[in-house]
Structure 1
Amino acid sequence: MTLGRQSKKLSLFNTLEILKKYTDENHRLTQAELLDLLKQDYDMEIDRRTIKSNLMDLIELGYEIESQETTRMIRNEKTGEVEESTIMSSFYLVRDFSKPELRLLIDSLLFSKHLPYSQCKELVTKLESLSNKYFRSNMSYISTMPEDKTNNKQIFYNIDVLDEAISKGRKVSFKYLEYGTDKEQHVKLNQEGDERVYVVSPYQMVAKEGKYYLICNYDAYDDISNYRVDRIAKIQILDAKAKPFENLKWSKGQRLNLAEYMKNHVYMYASDDSTVCFRIIKSMISDVIDMFGKDVQFYDETEDSVCVRVNVNESAMIQFAQSYAPDVEILEPLSLREEVKKKLREGYRVYE
């Protein structure tokens, strides 16, 4: 069959779509099966020469198509001599993402708390389309996604605006949402009862414990604040230039080191950092490394306990010590130790 130029392009496109839909390393197609699927899915009939040409063209265009090569001895119709010939069969399209990689990305979305349910499901569907029909048939657990994700539908708009503001070095203004007893989000109010407007210099956006945060400087102060991106509303880019991060009191004249910042701010609290020493039971060593990283220093090890030294955000350390008391005991600084003692006493009084 001789195809016209447009029909040739269409058969090439349809061949690619079939490879995307039906193949992977465990599901391969012969040329005969490709021909059958072209007829079944697209009502298109072509011959073996055309399907082979399509496959070679796709490989030449940069698509990674694997096949099984078989060597056969066949007789040359012109010369009558028996010659060696390589036959290609069992074709499949190599994916940009493996199945485990896609599942990891999808699970990250499923367990995130900063994306609205409908948008999360839409993104999962797009990720599924990067594989084939066999992958999608194994993802039925998507229907178990929690319905109580964030209600802020404009999170992607917020991300887009913040990305532009950060790249241009500009301040932004926004209003901030918080839940009321009616279980609905409302704009946070100031002391006068008016909707509070936040003006900040944005520096970076990060995901932490299933939530998406903006690291920034609140204009009225000279320190760092963290705001949930999904709770930001009515955001606007301002003409004013952002305050350089290295001018903030905590920066020590340095630019934002995101890895260091995230290590110190395990709960995304905004407060001073300190070198903290604390004692833990030895069964918590893995938890401490998971929480604070491998830069922690261990010392004064006994049979049952060990001391830890780490540079960490003070508010985060207080929360950590409270959460794991009595298995965690802060030793230094004394001011932090006293603060934890105070909070634990207050908690005990509540239950007396």
Structure 2
Amino acid sequence: MAKQSNQKLKLLYLWRILMERTDEEHPMTTAELISALEGYGVPAERKSIYADLEALELFGLDIVRNRRRGCYVGERPFQLAELKLLVDAVQSSRFITHRKSEELIKKVEGLASVHQARTLQRQVYVANRIKTMNESIYYNVDKVHSAISAGKKITFHYFEWTCEGKKRLRHDGKLYRISPWALTWDDENYYMIGFDSKRNSIRHYRVDKMQDISVTKENRDGQEHFECFDMAVYSKKMFGMFNGREETVRLRFANRLAGVVIDRFGRDIPMTRSGPEHFVINLQVAVSPQFLSWLFAFGADVTVLSPDSVIDQLRQQAQAVLGQYQQGAPVG
């Protein structure tokens, strides 16, 4: 009876053998396929193997045959180069823990042959990359997605880290009640974009700093704010996803920073020549300390032309930093 049951599974076992053990560099002959099937307790004859291969091809499996070398699976759902990109993305991602990275990569390896999978078992080293230790982010993302799909509000606690390395709840420990509308991955962190009814404004929250998330029965609101919402535009306005007063800022850059500006804001941003050595851009941006710090990084190669309020903020921040060092070296 067992042999008869295994015989019914013969086609599935053959599909598994081909997917797991063959690729362009590792074809299998008919004799090798018969031997592999015997390992599953499935006897087979040469003629039946030919018929089974034709059935699998008819089903859609790309089987490449060569009389001398044997046969192997050709096109797969993912090419090896694509799988390597996925593995690199998982390994270098800051918000995915080491343990979860290993689990995901193991699953990615299952999309290739065992021979190709060995080339995926490589370590990607990224300077100053710290993996998160918080695995709750996966469940947080799932709950937020569920609320978005259901069109419901969520409640949650939001925390920050103290200098002692401990969590401290914000908002005096009170629950946040927000209408979630989107999730975005920015600056190597997941953010939930939502609408805060009390503030009547769009807000964003780091998903890994949210806890005790609960999907409510209350319908979300803020639809009018998201009908024309553009996530790409929103992300470009924020630096490090920090909020600030939105301003149209006019900046003059040295020509050598054209690539930096394009990398940050895209190729569509208009850049106007300003003499032989500079160009000017206009930005709609949330002016925050992080934005000002970004400008500081370029020193004299960037100048804020307007508005005066941003120039004043930049001057005040420069004076505040300088003030720390005017009385001598800081005391540790």
TM bucket, shorter chain: 0.7 to 0.9
Alignment match, 1:210: 188
After superposition, the Cα gap between the structure-2 partners of 1:25 and 1:151, relative to the gap in structure 1 and judged at 3 Å, is same
RMSD (Å), alpha carbons: 2.7
Q: In 2, are the aligned partners of 1:280 and 1:327 still within 8 Å (CA)?
A: yes
- For 1:292 and 1:110, the matched residues in 2 are separated by 26
Decide which structure has the larger Cα Rg and report it.
1
CA contact (8 A) 1:279 1:308 kept: yes
Distance 2:124 2:259 in 1: 34
1:268 aligns with 2:266: no
Matched, 1:129 2:102: no
**Kept in 2: contact 1:35–1:45 (CA 8 A):** yes
Percent of residue pairs identical: 26
Equivalence for 1:323: 297
Unaligned runs of 5+ in 1: 71-86
Query: What is the CA–CA distance in structure 1 between the aligned matches of 2:273 and 2:279, rounded to whole Å?
Result: 6
Residue in structure 1 matched with residue 23 of structure 2 by the alignment: 24
Q: Indicate the SS of the match to 1:224.
A: strand
Q: SS at the partner of 2:234?
A: helix
Post-superposition shift, 1:214?
Answer: 0.6
The answer to whether 1:36 aligns with 2:35 is: yes
> For 1:100 and 1:266, how far apart are their aligned partners in 2?
33
Q: 1:67, CA displacement in angstroms?
A: 2.9
Q: 2:252 aligns with which of 275, 279, 284?
A: 279
How is 1:1-352 mapped onto 2 (pairs within 5 angstroms)? 6-39=5-38, 41-68=39-66, 89-142=70-123, 148-184=130-166, 186-191=167-172, 195-247=173-225, 254-315=227-288, 317-352=291-326
The answer as to whether partners of 2:272 and 2:280 remain within 8 angstroms in 1 is yes
CA drift at 1:241: 2.1
Paired amino acid for 2:65: S
Change (3 A) 1:188 1:132: same
Structure 1 residue 275: deviation in Å? 2.5
- For the structure 1 residues 286 and 147, does the alpha-carbon distance in structure 2 shift closer, same or farther, using more than 3 Å as the test? closer
Tell me the secondary structure at the aligned position of residue 158 of structure 1.
helix
The alignment partner of 2:95 has SS state of: coil
- Summarize deviations over 1:63-99 as a string: whole Å, max 9, x none: 232334x6xxxxxxxxxxxxxxxx9943324211111
Contact 1:275 / 1:309 at 8 angstroms: preserved in 2?
A: yes
Aligned-pair distance for 1:7?
A: 2.9
SS for the counterpart of 1:201 is strand
Count of matched residue pairs = 323
Q: Deviations over 1:80-122 (max 9, x none)?
A: xxxxxxx994332421111111111122221222223222221
Q: Deviations over 1:155-192 (max 9, x none)?
A: 222112111211222111101232233434x241445x
Contact kept in structure 1, 2:246 and 2:287, CA below 8 Å: yes
TM-score, length-normalised on structure 1? 0.82
Instruction: Structure 2: state its 5+ residue gaps.
Output: 327-332
TM-score by length of 2: 0.86
